[in-house]
Amino acid sequence: MAKSLYENYKNFPKTDCGYCGNTSCITMLRRFCSGELPLSECIYFRAGLYNVNEFSCSPPVPRGTQKPSISYIRPCPTDADRISVEVSLLPPEGSKYGYFDMITLDNIFNHAVPGLRISPSLGIARLESEWGDVMGFSEGRVLIRRASNESSAFWQLSRFVRSLWAAVS
Ligand code: SF4
């Protein structure tokens, strides 16, 4: 049965040794999932330490099914004096797995950015601050809550995406 990227990654070698020519195990896995490379490129699979048959990928997020959009929600459901904004970002050209790579994000930033919490299994990152809370989903949807006004919401959106830039797929 096809598994999510995260489910496959959980059982991957995760040594990031680079012997397969990729910069990390997650890159190798993503290239396997997109049909670019066989798992036999990995020395651990070649050595028989991992079973190829235990790995299979769900189809990638098809490009073109998402449209960029912005919706305003007034008042914010969690604070009647503030607003919420929901934004749908378009994955970059060539992206095969949505917008934010939460596995890489977790590997790089976990516990390093104050207020940032990441769940690779759910594909969610949440950044809390006094200016409001921002929640991002792997496919590119971003929800800003408790923003004082529209420009503050967009400043937070910009800060969130820049903070997570290393993990934009
Ligand atoms: S050879 Fe295997 S363990 Fe090493 S980086 Fe590549 S996928 Fe990861």
Interval between CA 155 and ligand 1 midpoint (Å): 38
Do the beta carbons of residue 12 and residue 3 sit within 8 Å? no
pLDDT of residue 63: 52
Blockwise average pLDDT, block size 10, the chain, 169 residues = 86 93 89 89 96 85 63 76 84 67 82 84 88 87 89 88 71
Interval between CA 3 and ligand 1 midpoint (Å): 19
pLDDT of residue 129: 86
Structure tokens at 69: 């959009």
Ligand 1: which of 14, 25, 27, 33 to mutate, most ligand atoms within 8 Å of CB? Answer: 25
37-72 burial string, b = 16+ CB within 10 Å, else e? bebebbebbeeeebeeeebebeeebeeeebeeeeee
- The one-character DSSP state at 166 is G
In order of their start, the domains of the chain are: 5-54 (1.10.15.40), 69-167 (3.30.310.10)
pTM of the model: 0.72
Alpha helices in 49-149 (DSSP H): 102-109
